[in-house]
Structure 1
Amino acid sequence: MGLFFADPLFERFAMRALSHALYGGADFGECFVTASQIAPGDVDSWFRAWTATADRLVQIAESSAADGHAVSAREAWLRASNYYRTSWLPLVGAPVDPRLVEAFDREAEAFARAAALMTPAVEAVEIPYEGTSLPGYFHRADDSCQPRPLLIATNGYDATVHEAHFAHAVAAVRRGYHCLSFDGPGQGRPLIHQGLVFRPDWEAVVRPVVDYALSRPDVDPQRIALIGWSFGGYLAPRAASGEHRLAACIADPGQWDLLEALRLLLPLPPAVRERLPEIAPADLEAVEAQMRSSPSLHWTVRRALWVHGLDSFADYIRIAGKYSLRGRAERIRCPTLVAWADGDPIARFAEQLHDALQCPRTLVRFTAAEGAGGHCEETARSLFHQRAYDWLEAVFASPGAAHPCR
């Protein structure tokens, strides 16, 4: 039995919502009361409960704003944004549920209202990208207009630019860094409204983001770092392998090769496992039967197919090998921090990434004994930020490290 649910999938989603209380994204009581209204395993009641809580907070925010209480309005809109995002998580997949689109739009609106009331104001930006644009938020450390170090934050499979506020930006701004969060192909608005799906060459995504950053006079061009969490633990180092204007890279957790991870995790006969990525429908019968009986596994696969624009699990296996840092890790030139956490299955290959790096490298371990086990140190983000951002401060302070190779 978890803190909220016996169902591991619902427990995972609820804990993720609660984890953002640290930086103003949730309240304990709101999460517990919302969870109490959800029937076990019932996606519809999950959506209704979290949406109702978010709707109630929007009413509080609007009333507070009308009465001139900007801080109260901002805080309520921030929590509402997180709860709207939480409401649509079980709905991910294609065809896209209209409720997901509506909840995502409400998430985005609530965050935009909160951002306008932050001090300094958090600026919504559009980053030019291959004939369209990617949405981002520029979180300023101050209003001095003086060049400051910048942390660019990239997400993974299901986080959004709004959630990045809690995951990365608040802690960065407190330390005097600007933070530019964005959603790329396969994420947030680019996926839901623009139909853009993931691509393995993330350097092609980050390059225009760096171009945008360098167009701003308030960014120190010699001190730009990139952080990626969850699947971003592949995307960030992949981007750093081809974008050499970065002064530092953080992979949370470090990843190595998606196909290798599938080969290790899937319950396949040894002969079939060795043939991957070549796969026949009959080879997947046992795996697909397991998916049907496991809500968590079923959700994970449905999400993967959606964000990659694929029709079948066999297709996912066939493209997985493209998401690899083999032959790429050694191209990273900037100092790189690789995170590893107890109990995080996608951190399994963090040491392999660390060992393959030929740049200045640091492996940082987070343990269950210190409350930091689990995916992306979700229940100990302040500890993650202390270790990762203190490392980043040292990198930025080093004259040699702060001038990346061109």
Structure 2
Amino acid sequence: MVDFLLSRPDVDPRRIVLAGISQAGYWVPRALAYEHRIAAAVADPGVTRVVDSWWHNLGPDLRHLWESGDRATFDRVIEDALAEDGPLAATWRWRAKPYGIDSPFDLVAEISRYDLMPVVDRITTPLLITDPDGEHFWPGASRELYNALTGPKHLVRFTEAEGAHRHCEPLGRALFEQRVFDWLDDRLGAADGV
């Protein structure tokens, strides 16, 4: 993608920005670990391990069962729960669809591979990470990512008092955009020495 953008005469190579919301809060930093031609990036929120959002909802008993390696029992327990709860089954199917894996055990194994911590030290691009109150998919991950980064970084809190809390600040997008674009103006303006 960066090669394509750089081939275009209407793209300033010093101002390419990468931004992602929700699970892209993992994919953006992951890309930055390998692609160093990005001028600045935004992760909303920061995600260190994709599977953490699954464990948050599955709970410690299922995690222990999965960690035991008992594939048959884990699959049966999940499949029984999905058969009993239509909305839960719909959410599971929606979240599992990108992976194309039917076995719940194998799905969690695949998702567990997406761990940013082994490559976080490779990130040198300035990264803005959001940290909203009430983050329910990856609570604490924004701060964990921020603390692990050694390069330029900025953690932006969004609070309930501002009306900009919860995952991806759904009711505070104007405030989100103001803070993100102000930060990007500072970063990208520096590319010109402005």
Instruction: Give the total of aligned pairs.
Output: 193
Is 1:345 the equivalent of 2:136? yes
Rate the CA distance shift 1:301–1:378 in 2: closer, same or farther, 3 A.
same
Give matches, 1:163-312, under 5 Å: 209-269=1-61, 272=64, 275=67, 278-312=69-103
TM-score, structure 1 normalization? 0.44
> Could you tell me which amino acid in structure 2 is paired with residue 366 of structure 1?
F
Match of 1:360 among 137, 152, 155: 152
TM-score, structure 2 normalization? 0.88
Please report how far the alpha carbon of residue 341 of structure 1 lies from its aligned counterpart in structure 2 after TM superposition. 1.5
Deviations 1:47-98 (A, max 9, x none): xxxxxxxxxxxxxxxxxxxxxxxxxxxxxxxxxxxxxxxxxxxxxxxxxxxx
Distance in structure 1 (CA, Å) of the matches to 2:157 and 2:83: 35
Contact kept, 8 Å, 2:78 with 2:104, in 1: the verdict is no
| Structure 2 SS opposite 1:227 | strand
> Could you tell me which amino acid in structure 1 is paired with residue 104 of structure 2?
F
Deviations 1:123-149 (A, max 9, x none): xxxxxxxxxxxxxxxxxxxxxxxxxxx
Unpaired segments of 5 or more residues in structure 1?
Answer: 1-208
1:388 match: 180
Please report how far the alpha carbon of residue 279 of structure 1 lies from its aligned counterpart in structure 2 after TM superposition. 4.3
Please report how far the alpha carbon of residue 273 of structure 1 lies from its aligned counterpart in structure 2 after TM superposition. 5.4
> Could you tell me which amino acid in structure 2 is paired with residue 224 of structure 1?
I
> What's the % identity of the aligned pairs?
36
Deviations 1:145-204 (A, max 9, x none): xxxxxxxxxxxxxxxxxxxxxxxxxxxxxxxxxxxxxxxxxxxxxxxxxxxxxxxxxxxx
Contact kept, 8 Å, 1:251 with 1:337, in 2: the verdict is yes
Contact kept, 8 Å, 2:25 with 2:45, in 1: the verdict is yes
Please report how far the alpha carbon of residue 272 of structure 1 lies from its aligned counterpart in structure 2 after TM superposition. 1.9
1:25 match: none
Distance in structure 2 (CA, Å) of the matches to 1:338 and 1:387: 11
Contact kept, 8 Å, 1:257 with 1:321, in 2: the verdict is yes
Rate the CA distance shift 1:358–1:279 in 2: closer, same or farther, 3 A.
farther
Rate the CA distance shift 1:313–1:399 in 2: closer, same or farther, 3 A.
same
Is 1:373 the equivalent of 2:165? yes
Distance in structure 2 (CA, Å) of the matches to 1:298 and 1:345: 19
2:113 match: 322
Query: For the pair shown, which has the larger CA radius of gyration, 1 or 2?
Result: 1
Deviations 1:227-247 (A, max 9, x none): 011111111111111100011
Contact kept, 8 Å, 2:40 with 2:184, in 1: the verdict is yes
> Could you tell me which amino acid in structure 2 is paired with residue 298 of structure 1?
A
Distance in structure 2 (CA, Å) of the matches to 1:295 and 1:270: 19
| Structure 1 SS opposite 2:9 | coil
- Alignment RMSD, CA only? 2.4
Structure with more contact order per residue of length (Cα contacts < 8 Å, sep ≥ 6): 2
